[in-house]
Amino acid sequence: MQEISTKPYLLRALYEWCTDNGFTPHIAVRVDNGTRVPRQFVRNDEIVLNISFEATSQLQMGNEWIEFSARFSGKSHKIEVQVTNVLAIYARENGQGMAFPVDPAAIGAAPDVSGEDGPRSSELGPDESGSERIEQRETAASAREARDDDESPPDDDGSKSSGRGHLKVVK
């Protein structure tokens, strides 16, 4: 019998921790053709989803899939995400959570998610492997924490931050 991954159990536990503490749980997801999300919100083959009780309807966090309905720009969408595609789960308010290793073979095989309903997503290069991407996020998060709270730091593209949550390394 094949052993079940600990990842879905950790996702459910951190979701419960967020909700018990009044935090807003978010998941960062690698998007491929098996992922059902509104493509216009996908950036660099990734999307961040608010999975709080207030933002979702009929949330089911199974061992293989995370499924729920959510509104994007006022329109309801059925969201389906493979647990294997979840990159991280964290609390929006403080960034505490957990990042998960990314299978480099899956990134190299990730299909292009361009389509009529959204912008073309760039493919990941070899220098953007999972561990390096997480390390880049950690470095960026540390730099943002060092700034004053009233200053709105620029995002990676140079624009002002929209208040999105960021990962915080907890050791």
Using DSSP's 3-state secondary structure scheme, residue 28 falls into: strand
- Whole-number Å distance between alpha carbons of 169 and 118: 32
Using DSSP's 3-state secondary structure scheme, residue 115 falls into: strand
pTM listed for this prediction: 0.63
Amino acid in the structure at residue 132 = E
Q: Is the pLDDT of residue 36 over 80?
A: yes
* Fold (CATH) for 7-146: SH3 type barrels. (2.30.30)
Query: What would the pLDDT profile of 1-29 be if each residue is shown by its tens digit?
Result: 788 899 999 999 999 999 999 999 999 99
Q: What is the residue extent of each domain of the chain?
A: 7-146
Label residue 170 by pLDDT band (50, 70, 90): low
- Whole-number Å distance between alpha carbons of 128 and 83: 21
Query: What would the pLDDT profile of 90-127 be if each residue is shown by its tens digit?
Result: 999 999 999 998 766 555 444 444 333 333 233 333 33
Q: What is the pLDDT of residue 169?
A: 59
Convert 83-99 to b/e letters by CB count within 10 Å (16 or more is b).
bbbbbbbbbbeebbbbb
